[in-house]
Amino acid sequence: MFSQRDKDDIDPVFKSAFKKYEEKDYSGSYIDYSNYLAKKPKDGAAFYNRGLCAYEMKDYKDGITNFTNSIVCGRIRADVFYSRGLCNYKLTHYELAIADFDTAISLLANYTKALTFKGACLNELKKYNEALEILNQAVASDVNYETSYYYRAITRYYLKDYQNGIDDCNKSLNIKNYYEVYFWRGLHSLNLKKYQEAINDYDTVIAHNPKDAKAYYNRAIVYYDLKNYEKALENNNKSIEIDPSKAEAYYNRALTKYELGRYKEAEPDFNAAIDLKLNSANHYLWRGINYYYLKKNALALADLTVAIQKDSQSENAFYYRALLRYAQEDDKGVIEDCNSALAIKKSSSIYYQRGISKYNIKDYQGAIDDFNASLQLKPDYKLAVLERGITYYQTEKDAMALADLNKAIELDPKSSRAYYYRGKLKKYMNDLPGSCADLKQAQTLGNESATDELFKNGCK
């Protein structure tokens, strides 16, 4: 956008206004144009130029008023509609902005800037396929206008076309260096798991603007994905310090603290995220899991139930609710929740947990079947090997029990429970010395029940 006037005009007030605008004295220019319009209230060019001053001073409503007056006064030109469209865009009046850009394009075919910002409006309206079509036209109309590539990169981000998005960012940066482009290139790289490239871009953004909360937040996500939780925490802290209203930053910081095992510190961040209106199934799921590890079982149960209500396909919510029900000795509830979880996704942990509850209700064959299924998915799952061995012991399948208990001790030489049950088993297999040796080892490892068994066996 630039101010214009017929070349033969020599009015000193107009000339002063024009000069001040060129010198970026927008307030002074605006005043001079107002004085000029007091003399010539039907001058479309003066309204247009005063509109440009208002735009530069971020008074977009006044800009619209001036551009509209310019049109009413007969200045039916593409640049007026384009400029009014920009003001509408800034005010988030996207449909009105598109109408202005369309008029500008009808007056000036292949008007690159109008096409570009029409595409930007369509992005805001989440009409990404339409935006891509328009921005392709913008790029074709002028391959050297960097802003077209920039907005097309944003479109491609939402269309999950990340590599082409990076290509557009690169093209934009090759023409002109804007730090906003690094921000979006970082997002594309993050989604392609090009983590170092993403970090480099966010480093650039933050070096340019150390108060960019979103850049810190995105860099925190990169470090979180890299399992560098301390760095992720540092960046989340900075993001929240700059912008305490960003709910996602609290949630991400909560997840980071959870991964660090700092459940108590994570709790207020989960609460803040939900208080700030994050309310998807995942938000309740992870707060519920965090409550589980804090042993706040009632709160955990409430959150996990909400997570299930919001997403009936959340196997983790069913699984952790099963764990809570196990703590409440509600084995039937455990089996129900594990059934629901396994209908969604097969998991060695869920089969194992269901097996434990089936064992508790003396459904030994059902327990063995679940431990088998668990071990098919995770062959060296030491707890499943151990509990299957114990279940074999209860069903008097001594050879199979011995094989599993031997394997359990091989996988975990400090398993007092494995030594205890192998000691009991060896007694029934007429290996009293072996029984005494295992029970003594179980006792050494802290198994209190082993003391009674040693006494019953007459072990010395």
Tell me the C-alpha distance between 340 and 44, whole Å.
Answer: 70
Q: What is the per-residue pLDDT for 9?
A: 59
> Is residue 40 within 8 Å of 46, Cβ to Cβ?
yes
Which domain range does residue 430 map to? 389-460
Tell me the C-alpha distance between 270 and 83, whole Å.
Answer: 44
Comparing 3 with 118, the larger pLDDT belongs to 118
Asked if residue 333 and residue 425 are part of one domain, the reply reads no
Match 């309204």 to its residue by tokens: 47
Q: Considering the chain, what percentage of its residues have pLDDT values greater than 70?
A: 98
What integer is the mean pLDDT of 373-401? 96
Q: What is the per-residue pLDDT for 1?
A: 52
Contacts of 288 (CB under 8 A, 6+ apart): 299, 300, 301, 302, 303, 304, 306, 307, 317, 320
> Is residue 178 within 8 Å of 184, Cβ to Cβ?
no
Asked if residue 404 and residue 454 are part of one domain, the reply reads yes
Q: Which residue among 333, 356, 379 closes a domain?
A: 379
Name the domain count of the chain: 2
Q: 203 lies in a domain? A: no
Asked if residue 397 and residue 356 are part of one domain, the reply reads no
Q: What is the per-residue pLDDT for 458?
A: 85
Using alpha carbons only, what angle is made at residue 221 by residues 217 and 224, rounded to the nearest 5 degrees? 135
Asked if residue 344 and residue 296 are part of one domain, the reply reads yes
Tell me the C-alpha distance between 72 and 319, whole Å.
Answer: 67
Tell me the C-alpha distance between 166 and 426, whole Å.
Answer: 66
For residue 26, pLDDT over 80 is answered with yes
Tell me the C-alpha distance between 323 and 56, whole Å.
Answer: 60
Q: Which residue among 379, 412, 438 closes a domain?
A: 379
Nearest Cα neighbor of 78 from 108, 41, 113, 34 is 108
Nearest Cα neighbor of 157 from 134, 149, 138, 114 is 149
Q: Considering the chain, what percentage of its residues have pLDDT values greater than 90?
A: 93
Q: 133 lies in a domain? A: no
Environment class of 22 (CB within 10 Å of its CB; exposed 0-12, middle 13-18, buried 19+):
exposed
Q: What is the per-residue pLDDT for 8?
A: 39
Asked if residue 442 and residue 353 are part of one domain, the reply reads no
**Predicted confidence (pLDDT) per residue in 64-106, tens digit:** 999 999 999 999 999 999 999 999 999 999 999 999 999 999 9
For residue 428, pLDDT over 50 is answered with yes
CATH number at residue 416: 1.25.40.10
Global confidence as pTM: 0.85
Asked if residue 396 and residue 319 are part of one domain, the reply reads no
For residue 129, pLDDT over 80 is answered with yes
Name the band, by pLDDT with cuts 50, 70 and 90, for residue 444: very high
Distance of CA 158 to the CA centre of its chain: 14
Q: 329 lies in a domain? A: yes
What integer is the mean pLDDT of 401-418? 96
Q: 405 lies in a domain? A: yes
Q: Which residue among 332, 361, 379 closes a domain?
A: 379
CA distances from 24 to 3, 13, 19, 118 (A): 12, 17, 9, 27
Q: What is the per-residue pLDDT for 167?
A: 98
For residue 6, pLDDT over 90 is answered with no
For residue 7, pLDDT over 70 is answered with no
Asked if residue 375 and residue 287 are part of one domain, the reply reads yes
Q: 66 lies in a domain? A: no
Q: 435 lies in a domain? A: yes
Asked if residue 398 and residue 356 are part of one domain, the reply reads no
Using alpha carbons only, what angle is made at residue 171 by residues 166 and 176, rounded to the nearest 5 degrees? 120
Q: 16 lies in a domain? A: no
**Predicted confidence (pLDDT) per residue in 190-249, tens digit:** 999 999 999 999 999 999 999 999 999 999 999 999 999 999 999 999 999 999 999 999
Asked if residue 459 and residue 368 are part of one domain, the reply reads no
Asked if residue 285 and residue 368 are part of one domain, the reply reads yes
**Predicted confidence (pLDDT) per residue in 320-333, tens digit:** 999 999 999 999 99
Tell me the C-alpha distance between 111 and 78, whole Å.
Answer: 8
For residue 2, pLDDT over 60 is answered with no
Asked if residue 331 and residue 364 are part of one domain, the reply reads yes
Q: 297 lies in a domain? A: yes
Nearest Cα neighbor of 52 from 3, 12, 107 is 3
Asked if residue 373 and residue 393 are part of one domain, the reply reads no
